[in-house]
Amino acid sequence: MIFDNYLSYKNKVILSVICSGVWIYFRTSECYNLVPRHHIFPVIFVMLWCYLNYIEPLFLPIGLLILFIYPKIYKSKT
């Protein structure tokens, strides 16, 4: 799907695991504030993200990048 011509499925999984480890290591409390508790939209979003990750492993780093960039964009607007 994404970068199929350049990366094997195994390499995509390894890249996703490395990206998740880096994100977990450097995360801040703002990362948790992005996913509020007891709201249906974040639940559906995370469920869709998990499903897409099973289809295409590179959805994990893409989603983590969005979680990293979103607070920076949001802060600049306020």
Q: What's the Rg (C-alpha) of the chain?
A: 14
CA distance 39 to 34: 11
Q: pLDDT tens digit string along 8-67? A: 999 999 999 999 999 888 887 777 777 777 888 878 888 898 899 989 999 999 988 888
pLDDT of residue 30: 74
CA distance 42 to 66: 14
3-state SS of 12-59?
HHHHHHHHHHHHHHHCCHHHHHCCCCCCHHHHHHHHHHHHHHHHCCCH
- pLDDT band with cut points at 50, 70 and 90 for residue 2: confident
pTM more than 0.75: no
The mean per-residue pLDDT over the stretch 70-78 comes to: 72
**Helices 40-55, 59-77: inter-axial angle, 10-degree rounding:** 140
